[in-house]
Amino acid sequence: MIEMEKREIRLDPELNLVSTLARAKKLAARATKKGLSGGYVVTTETRTEINPVTGEAFEQTYLILEGSPAKYNGWTFLGLVEWVNGEALVYASPTAGVQIDRSLLVEGGCDHCGVNRARKSVIVVENEAGERKQVGKQCAKDYLGQSSPVTWFAPVSDTFDEFAGYSGLGTAVYKLGYILTVASSVVRQRGFVRSSGNDGSALSTRELVQLFVASEPTNKYALENWLELRAGYDDVKDPAAGVAAFEFAQKLEGFTDYVLNVKAVISVGQDGYFSPKNLGLVVSIAGVYAKDVAKKALEDADPTVNEPFGQVGDKITLEVKAVSSNSFDTVYGTTYANVFTGEGYRFKWLTGTRYFDEGDTLTLKGTIKGYDEWDGKTYTLLTRCKEIVS
């Protein structure tokens, strides 16, 4: 049974939907015409969603792709490889379920023709016997029936660029340090929202970063987000967080595709430039770093009592210290998950009105709503809280 994958790509409302769908279907038909088994089908779907800022309903259209790994003459396309600053960026097929050995890759090389040249990218293919080859795009037609493999195997965030014809600012490159700063600001304000696996109730962090760095948008929904994000930018905290995120990425350990791709894209340095197609990868660094900071802060402030505090319904007043304040978007707006410690216990307060800086101390009055356990740690959940100012 062939494993199928489904991707949903949010379309810019100002794009011409008819021409966008026609382009996507043309690419799909071209793959079929070349004799590839597998391949994919393309449709669109328009849904009514809720603006998380205003609560108003609006229509959002998605490009939907469903398919499986391309195969031709017994060869399966495993992934696309590009080089940045001499480092390999690997976009492996998620449905093929394999990892490409980077130690066997040769920059600019082709196992088919044997000619090494200044190739920007190559493809990796495998036959039924398990033999793998690194092949230049001009030689790819002997393995895939076409000279330019479809972008089904690129990251989902980049598929938008191929099918919708959108390239962010219309510029060929982004400055790494600047994008890490903007991404850190967006994550601090809204939390981190993945491009894939997002139910559509909130813009992804990648989309918000693109929006932040763009010129003033004309779309009302985009303009509201653009104004809010820029107003929330902190010219002290956010640049510092961007630098810290870069240094964090340099120290990442492991040999997963994600870690190795991050190392490749940041090899240009904070003052270097990278392609917009890797924007999602760079933005994710800020999200992973923020999660790591919150985890370490909680560990450092870990109380000695791993038990619930009081009884459900109790009204309490106590002095607490803020450990972390992460945010996430819902259909009701932005919610802040505030974590505190006090009297040796952990407390959590979900609210749409307040967030706190790490280390803030305050007297909090509220009602015990219940208890939660995560990663072996017990939290007492509070509701209807307010800060008592002496």
Output the CA–CA distances (angstroms, integers) from residue 177 to 84, 134, 185, in the order listed. Answer: 16, 33, 13
Closest CA to 268 of 180, 182, 197, 185: 180
Residues 219 and 143 in one domain: no
130-139, 178-187, 230-239, 292-301: least confident range:
292-301
In the structure encoding, which two tokens stand for residue 350, read together? 């979900």
Given this model, what pLDDT does residue 289 score?
A: 93
Alpha helices in 4-130, H assignment, sequence order: 17-33
**CA angle (32 as vertex; 26, 33 as ends), nearest 5:** 85
Give me the chain's average pLDDT, please. 77
Residue 384 identity (one-letter amino acid): R
Domain span at residue 217 reads 205-300
Strands (E), 128-173: 132-136
Task: Give the confidence band of 1 by pLDDT, cuts at 50, 70, 90.
Answer: very low
CB 286 within 8 Å of CB 249:
no
Residues 267 and 130 in one domain: no
90-104 pLDDT, tens digit per residue, is 877 655 567 788 888
Does the structure show a pLDDT above 50 at 242?
yes
Closest CA to 139 of 109, 163, 160, 162: 109
CA pair distance 351, 353, nearest whole angstrom: 6
Residues in a beta bridge with 83: 88
Domain count, the chain: 4
Q: pTM here? A: 0.58
How large is the average pLDDT for residues 313-330? 86
Given this model, what pLDDT does residue 347 score?
A: 94
Highest mean pLDDT among 15-19, 202-206, 277-281, 378-382: 378-382
Residues 161 and 66 in one domain: yes
In the structure encoding, which two tokens stand for residue 383, read together? 């509701």
Neighbours of 54 (CB within 10 A): 12
Residues 76 and 141 in one domain: yes
CA pair distance 94, 373, nearest whole angstrom: 32
In the structure encoding, which two tokens stand for residue 323, read together? 């450990």
CB 318 within 8 Å of CB 325:
no
In the structure encoding, which two tokens stand for residue 351, read together? 């609210």
**CATH number of the domain bearing residue 374:** 2.40.50
Residues 162 and 30 in one domain: yes
Q: What are phi and psi of 147, to 5 degrees?
A: -90, -15
Does the structure show a pLDDT above 90 at 381?
yes
Residues 126 and 266 in one domain: no
Given this model, what pLDDT does residue 29 score?
A: 62
CA pair distance 285, 180, nearest whole angstrom: 8
Q: Which residue has the higher pLDDT, 352 or 270?
A: 270
Output the CA–CA distances (angstroms, integers) from residue 155 to 77, 212, 214, 277, 390, in the order listed. Answer: 15, 22, 22, 9, 53
Task: Give the confidence band of 119 by pLDDT, cuts at 50, 70, 90.
Answer: confident
Q: Is 44 part of any domain?
A: yes
Q: Which of 300, 329, 362 is the last residue of a domain?
A: 300
Residues 249 and 283 in one domain: yes
